[in-house]
Structure formats: structure tokens, C-alpha cells
Structure 1
Amino acid sequence: MESTLRIEQIQHFVPFDELSEATIEELMPHFRYHQLNSKQILFKRGVEDDECHFLLSGELDLADDQFNITKIHGEEDENFLALDSSHPVHRCAAITQSACSFFSIKRQYLELITTWSELRQSYEEQDEEADWLEALLTSRLFNRIPPANIQQLLMRFNERRVALGEVIIKEGDSGQECYVIKSGKAVVTRMNNGKPETLAAITTGTLFGEDALNSALPRNATVTMSSDGELMVLTQDDFNRLLKNPVLEYLNEAQLHELIEDGDTGTIVIDVRTRQESIAHPLPKARNIPLAKLRSELPGLSPEFVYVTTGEARGEAAAYILNEAGFQTKVLRFDEHLSD
């Protein structure tokens, strides 16, 4: 039997068939190559398994609880999925019928890789090898930052190596840093009714983790690496001084009234407090979009308007998100409430 694992063998199987040779090469340390002789058990029915297994060569039987047998041949085209991997607890037993070779990978890692691969197919195609700095500096947000700040910002980043499966930020935790992906991939999830919901797949040049720095609220999502990689890390103090403060514009109630009356474009006031807060203490003429829902509401906003955010620290966080998305935004400062 073969004693080494080759990239082309891995690419025969889903989801690795969608990955480049360079990406597979990065994943190599996470694969476990192993062999079994004939009439040996790979896994038992009813036993939890933290790995997923792929048959490279040989023949084995999958036996379910009714003793129905499904024969799997390593060389057949139909053998392109992990063996009995739909549940962490095996529903079949796997028994080799000849000498067999396998590669295995942690189930957690496979789910991350699969999720990232499928999500990226729904996005506009991007160059995964693009320089992280080029991707960052050409973003809408960086168009609003003074050149001198950009130079200082790049000097303040610290590089950190990260691994497949590593949780970079966890939903509910406090935040003291934000991150840019220098190389690698990650998946963004959020708990929904007690279960993790996948929100996005991110890659080179993506800035994340800044929401908690803006609002002083707990992290609103979890980011987990779906490959090995490198992150550029920025502290909260440097983020505020070099990124956040330069892009925020403020106005008072009198200036808001003038903007509404005399501005060349329409003005929309957005109250980013929770719905309950907005109902209890309404702000006249303001549209309520809670901060937690603002990113999902961005597609429904028009760049033809000027947006004025309220809600103290949350208002600043909302303005940053809107600026990052390319909208013209100001933050309202007032004592008690908006006047009619």
C-alpha cells in the first residue's frame, strides 16, 4: 500500500475538490494518513467520532443497524465523500475487506473548510492570493483616513500566526483588539436560538472585530479560522486614534436642523438603540435600526442620503459601520432628545 498522501488524492474528495493545490498544501499537517489490514474495524456503529475518514484504496463494508451492507471501493468514482460522516455518532460500522489506506481530518476542521468553501461560491469571485495590504487600503473606509494616519497605522499592527480551528473572537466576550487577515480564511458565526448560525466567510484583507471596539459592547459574533494563516492585530487605543476618530463627523441639533432644511441631499436620522428603548423613549423623526441589525439592513439603505446616527457610543459604532460601507454619515450629539 502507499505510504504517502498526495495533493491529487485529496482533491478527489468533496470539499477539497474546490480548493487550490496551495490551499491543500497548507492543510497537509491536519490530515492523518493511516492503514488497516483486512477484517479490521475502522469505526463502530453508535460510537462518537471526532474525525471524518476518507478511503484512498482498498475495499470496506459499511453495515447499518439492520445489517444491510454497502460496499465501498477506494478506486471507484462514487467514492468521493467522507465515510458515514453525516452525524458525529456513526450510524454504520466500517469493516475492511482488504488492506485499506485512509486519510482522516478532525470533523470540526472539515465543517469549517466546507462552510467556507460553500459560502465563497455565493460571493463575487476574489483573488485569494491578493496582497492583504492592497485589499485593506483600497477599501471604502481607508479612503476617508488621512495618509499620515495610514502610515502610523501600518506601523502599529502586530503579526500573529493562527491555526485551523482557532477561535479568534468569541461572541459575548469583551474586545480589546481588532484584526486584519494577512493570509488565510475564517468563518463568522452567531448563536441563534441556541444554535450557531453561519453569517459569512472572510479572507485576505478583511478587517474584523472592530464593532466591539466602537461600541464598548460584547463581541456580537464568533470568528473561527478555517485554515492556518496570519493576522495583523491592532489594539483598541491605536484603533481609536488612527481609524475610528478620523472617520467620524459630529453635529449638534442646530446643525442637524440646518442640514435637513438646507442640505442638497435628503437626511435620515437613525436611532440605533434597541426597539424596546426606542419605544420607551422615542426620538421624533428618527428611524429605529438597532445596532445589532444594522449590517443586515445595509442593502436597503440608499447612498443618495446623508445618515445621522444617535445613541451615544452605539451611534458612533453605527456611523463607523456606515462609513465602512461607503455611506455619508454624521453622529448627532444632543443633551436629551431631538426637537420636533
Structure 2
Amino acid sequence: MNKPLHPDQLRNLVPLDSLSPRQLWELRVRVAPLALEAGQLLRPENASSARHYLMSGSLLLNGRDGQQTHVVAGSPAALHSIAFGQLVEARALEDCQLLTVDGAELERLLSWRQALQDVLLQLSMDGEDGEWLERLLDNPLFAQVPPANIRSMLGRLVEIDVPAGRTLIHEGEAGDCCYFLKNGRAQVLKAVGSGEQLLAELEAGACFGEEALLEERPRNASIAMIEDGSVLRLARADFLELLKAPVVSEVDLDDVADLLGCGAQWLDVRLLEDYEQGHAMQALHMPLHLLRLKTRLLNPQRPYLCYCESGKRSANAIFLLTQLGFTAYALRGGLDALSPAERAALLWECGSGYLARSDGRIERSL
């Protein structure tokens, strides 16, 4: 129980059973074990605001009304959290294992899930197909988007039927919109010499074309349909207003120390020559054009701090990392917003990228 739990170990607990699979994956890193030896007491003042679930052993709950309740792991009662607000104490009748779930995070996920269900219900009443929306909104990106924005976004999408072989986005063109793949499959292609290299395949629910909108640069790859399908087009202005603004979290330099103290790590998304001239302490070099490929070296349980010169590449990085389920923040205003003294104090290390470990492999982050 020292490792993050698999969602299957959480999905039967109440009210966790109302969360989506993606939300359970998010929540599993906010769950911690708590061991009680036989005879040990757990009182309300020591239980904090977390929710506690009995996973093994048995407890005797002494209520404020004088009633006693015997709870055994695996019983229907053990699927509910222990209501410490109504108890004087809980006594372990044998060695027990409990799970403590971050109460604030659980409440946030439940509130968002309920609001999302309200949106889906209204859309289904309007005759909209909810299955593709479930897939689309299961993207971690939308966990940061207020339901009101999602409702507005859905009203501004333009559906387009696209045959197999049609190229929706051409590498090198200016970006004026992004797309959501409603059905069918698409491929991401990069020009290499006189040919093209396949970078990835996209399935229903994928968002693509957003990088050019965030960076205000030409499209960095082409997107072509593999089979007949349909996409939903969102104009650049609507994307920036409804999706980018709530998703891209920014922090000031004054707040960085607290995040680093909680285990955050710097990501430098600039070019290699800029990184080598000076970077933040132990910053991993993750140039933006390689970030999607290099995310396998990152730890989903760890927050990341991104920086670049203007802040635009960092915003792009945050958007991408959020879609992939990471928690990340951008340095507000980028390095350009720092004074010369602040910049020198931040970018004091020089040289090549730090080693990053992933699945037993070790490689440089650049």
C-alpha cells in the first residue's frame, strides 16, 4: 500500500464510485495508507478533513449518542467513509489498514463531475449524442475547464464531415483554429526530407491544432484522416477565451519556493543553446517540439514548473502536459518579466541536460 493504488481498488468506495475512470486515476495519488494496531484509537481530532475507509481488519465505532457499531472490512458498511463527525472514537479490534483520501480534492472532483453530468443531461435532452462527449470530456484538460465554458464551447463548435485521406492541417500554415476528433481516426505527420514521418495516431476525443494557437507560430505538423470521420472546429478566439485561459496555470517567482519545497521540478522548454547558457537548478531540458515524446521521463505524481523567454512556449507546454494528466505551472510572463538580478539568480546553472529515469532506463532529458 506504499504505491499509488490502481483505480479498480477505489471504484467500489462511496462516493468514489460516481467518479469517471480518469478522475480515479487522478485521485489515486491523493490516497495514503494508515495502519492501526489492535487496540489503537483514532479520534476525530486526529482524523483531519480526509475521508477514511477500512480496507482490512475491524473497528469498533463509539458514537456521540452512546451507540457502538462494529465495522468489518469487506462489508457494505466499510464501503462508506468513517463518519468521524458523529464519533467519540474508533478502536481497532485487530490490526487494521485504512485508506485516507484527500477530502478537498475528492470534493473538487465530485463537484466537477456533477456539473458535467448536468451538461450532458441537458445536451441529451436537446438530442445531442453524449457518447463522444463522454470520451472528449474524459481528457484531463477539461478537468480544469469550468462547466459553463464547456457549455459555451459546445455551442461554438462547427461539425465537418471529413473523408479518409483528407488533410485537415498542413505543416507550415498559420493556425486559425483547433479541432476535436468526433469519430474516425487521424494521423500526425512530420515532413522529413522528401517524405513524411508518422508521429502519432489520434482517436475520437483527441484535440489537435492547438499548439499553433498558443504559440502564434505556423503549424508544426500535418494532420490527415486515416478513415472517414467527422471533426469539430473551434475558432482561435473561442479557444483562447474558453479553454486556454482556465487551463494554463501561472505562478509568480515569489510562489516558486513553496512549490519546489513540495517536490516540484523545473522544465526548461527553450532551445538547447539557451538552456546550456544558463538554466534553473536541476531543470530538465524539455524543448517544446520534443515535449510530447519526452513526457515518458516525467513523473505524473510530481508537479512541474515550466519557463521560456516570453511565456508563450510555456503556455503551450502547460496545455499539452495538462492533456496528458500532469500538474504543471508556467512562470508568469516568462523570463522576460524578471529583473536582471532575478534572472541571474534563477538561471545560474550551465551545461547539458540532467539525467532522467523512466522504467529502469536512464537518458538525458534534452
Amino acid at match of 1:330: Y
CA contact (8 A) 1:130 1:204 kept: no
**Please, which runs of 5 or more residues in structure 1 have no aligned partner?**
1-128
Q: How many Å apart are 1:255 and its aligned residue? A: 0.7
CA contact (8 A) 1:167 1:222 kept: yes
Name which one, 1 or 2, has greater alpha-carbon Rg.
1
CA contact (8 A) 2:266 2:281 kept: no
The 3-state SS of whatever aligns with 1:132 is helix
Q: CA RMSD in A?
A: 1.9
CA contact (8 A) 1:132 1:181 kept: no
Q: How many Å apart are 1:234 and its aligned residue? A: 0.3
Give the structure 2 partner of residue 253 of structure 1. Answer: 253
Give the structure 2 partner of residue 335 of structure 1. Answer: 338
Query: Distance in 1 between the 2:264 and 2:194 partners?
Result: 38
CA contact (8 A) 1:131 1:205 kept: no
TM-score, normalisation: structure 1: 0.58
CA contact (8 A) 1:170 1:222 kept: yes
Query: Distance in 2 between the 1:192 and 1:277 partners?
Result: 25
1:207 aligns with 2:207: yes
1:184 aligns with 2:181: no
Structure with greater helix percent? 2
CA contact (8 A) 1:131 1:204 kept: no
The within-5 A match list for 1:1-340 is 131-261=131-261, 263=262, 266-311=263-308, 312-333=311-332, 334-336=337-339, 337=343, 339-340=345-346
TM-score, normalisation: structure 2: 0.54
CA contact (8 A) 1:284 1:338 kept: no
Query: Distance in 2 between the 1:201 and 1:329 partners?
Result: 25
Q: How many Å apart are 1:194 and its aligned residue? A: 4.2
**Across the two proteins, how many residue pairs are aligned to each other?**
209
Bigger relative contact order (CA 8 A; separation at least 6): 1
The 3-state SS of whatever aligns with 1:204 is coil
Query: Distance in 1 between the 2:200 and 2:248 partners?
Result: 26
Query: Distance in 1 between the 2:204 and 2:196 partners?
Result: 24
- Alignment deviations for residues 110-162 of structure 1 (CA, whole Å, 9 cap, x no partner): xxxxxxxxxxxxxxxxxxx9932121011111112111111111111011122
CA contact (8 A) 2:318 2:330 kept: yes
Amino acid at match of 1:335: L
CA contact (8 A) 1:184 1:230 kept: yes
1:191 to 1:161, Cα distance in 2 relative to 1, 3 A? same
- Identity across aligned pairs (percent)? 33
Q: How many Å apart are 1:219 and its aligned residue? A: 1.2
